Amino acid sequence: MYKARDLRRYHRRVWLPNNAKSMILEFKKQLPFVDLTAHAAKEMARDKGGMIPLPTKEELFDRDNELVEIFEILRNGKPLGIAQKLVLRAKKLNNLYDYAYVIAREGYIVTSWATHKNDNHRLTKSLYEYYVPENLKDEIYKKILNE
């Protein structure tokens, strides 16, 4: 069996580390191109909202888009301050839908899906999948569950 890469997953509405901005800037700067994996190409062609467009790097990192998640690389359980993947919500590519893109630092969109512009996911089922420092868990979980 193959060993999976050790990653820590953050969500913007749950908790982000202090160095999140620098991780995003480094990710954007080093991103060599934007292209698709075979899986992403299939998913983007058959989405419920129709064909999802392949964005440019500039469209992905448009200032009106939302960062949704960061997957940070860990080594021996310690965060390295390097994002392996980002989940970005592109807001200007369609009038009815926003598009979520999962992009790896190598430049490949791994998957994508359409979301209605007024859809704001509540995180009730996935909340506990995201990293939160132990001393903040109770406070953050209560706040999100009461939204």
pLDDT band at 3 (very low <50, low <70, confident <90, very high): confident
The tens digit of pLDDT for each residue in 30-62 reads 999 999 999 999 999 999 999 999 999 999 999
User: What's the confidence (pLDDT) of residue 147?
Assistant: 80
- Cα 135 to the center of its chain, rounded Å: 24
Residue 112, Cβ neighbours under 10 Å: how many? 24
pTM of the entire predicted model: 0.94
CA distances from residue 16 to 6, 114, 117, 133, 136 in whole angstroms, order as listed: 18, 24, 24, 10, 12
Domain regions of the chain by residue span = 7-122
Q: In terms of Cα–Cα distance, which of 19, 30, 47 is closest to 113?
A: 47
Strand partners, 100: 89, 113
Residue 107: both structure tokens together: 């430049």
How many angstroms separate the CA atoms of 77 and 8, rounded?
A: 9
Alpha helices in 31-78 (DSSP H): 38-45, 57-60
3-class SS of residue 113: strand
The tens digit of pLDDT for each residue in 79-133 reads 999 999 999 999 999 999 999 999 999 999 999 999 999 988 777 778 899 999 9
